[in-house]
Each structure stands twice: as C-alpha cells, then as structure tokens.
Amino acid sequence: MSGTPCDTPQRPTFLGLEPLIVARLEATVRSALQVPVLSTADIAGATEASLPKPSVRVAYGGHQVVQAGAQLPAGWALIEQTWIVVPAVRNVRDIRAGAAPRADASPLCDAVLDALDGWAPGCGYGPLKSVTPGLRPATLDGCTYVPLAFTSRFRRTTQCT
C-alpha cells in the first residue's frame, strides 16, 4: 500500500491501525475541510481548551477476541478492534438549543463516515465497519462532540515469536 504507514503487510500490530486511520483522515477530511486530525499522542496530556476546534480526534475504543483455536491455526486469534473518531466543534451561537454547533459538526461527521466506513486499510487489517458507539454526543461550554465508532478485524498470534 503506497503512502500508508504499514509496519509489515502480513502481520498487523495490535495498535497499528491508528496511524492508518489518521493518515486516511488527513488525506480526506483534513485536505477537504481544512480540519486537523488528532491522534491519541496529540491528545495525551493536553487540556481540552488547548485542542483545536474544529478537529477530528482518533482514539482506541477497545477490542474483543472474536475467535480463537479450532477454526484458526494453532496460536492465532481473530481480534475485532473498535476505534472511536470524534468530530469536535465549537460554536456558541444558539448555545441553548445547540442547532448551530450541530450544523457545524454534521459535515465533519459525513466526511469521517465517507472516509472510513467500508475502507480497507490493508496491512493485514479488515475493512472498517461503522458501528453504534458506546458514547453519546455531548455539548459542553459551546463545544459539541459527536463520537463515531468503527470496527476492524485482524488475525494475531497468541504465541511469542
């Protein structure tokens, strides 16, 4: 996959999907809407007030072992990871009803969904699938956050190599 940060095409790393998602969003959302894309490293240690808005934030949302053992080679497991992508905007017009910030967030949500839903990142990771996030949208002090969630599956060895 040209221009994509793959460590090893045949062997995905456990958190290796994050830089692929960030690169995809930078190539699509950032270039089209001029909105920064922030990784976990960008967010870590920062105060919310110091983070740019509008922005799109990418964070690990957990995993589950979907299948292990019998239907896979010995020592391998099928992992399904969830990644949370949060468009964030700030708009204090109509702060009580929230219509203005929702209107600002909507194009970011559409751009993220268009970029990631069904996208196959390669590098051993399966296509991303939009799923219901475990977090609800929130508005606080004029900032609106709309979490979107995506899952991807990959095979991972359960043995040391």
Quickly count: other Cβ atoms within 10 Å of residue 6's Cβ. Answer: 20
Q: Are the beta carbons of 56 and 108 closer than 8 angstroms?
A: yes
What pLDDT, in 10s, does the model give residues 20-76?
A: 999 999 999 988 899 999 999 999 988 888 899 999 999 999 999 887 556 666 667
Query: Does 9 map to a domain?
Result: no
CATH of the domain at 133: 3.30.2000.10
Query: Does 48 map to a domain?
Result: yes
What gap in Å lies between CA 113 and CA 110, rounded to an integer? Answer: 5
Query: Does 1 map to a domain?
Result: no
Query: Does 42 map to a domain?
Result: yes
The whole domain housing 150 covers: 17-157
Query: Does 134 map to a domain?
Result: yes
pTM of structure: 0.86
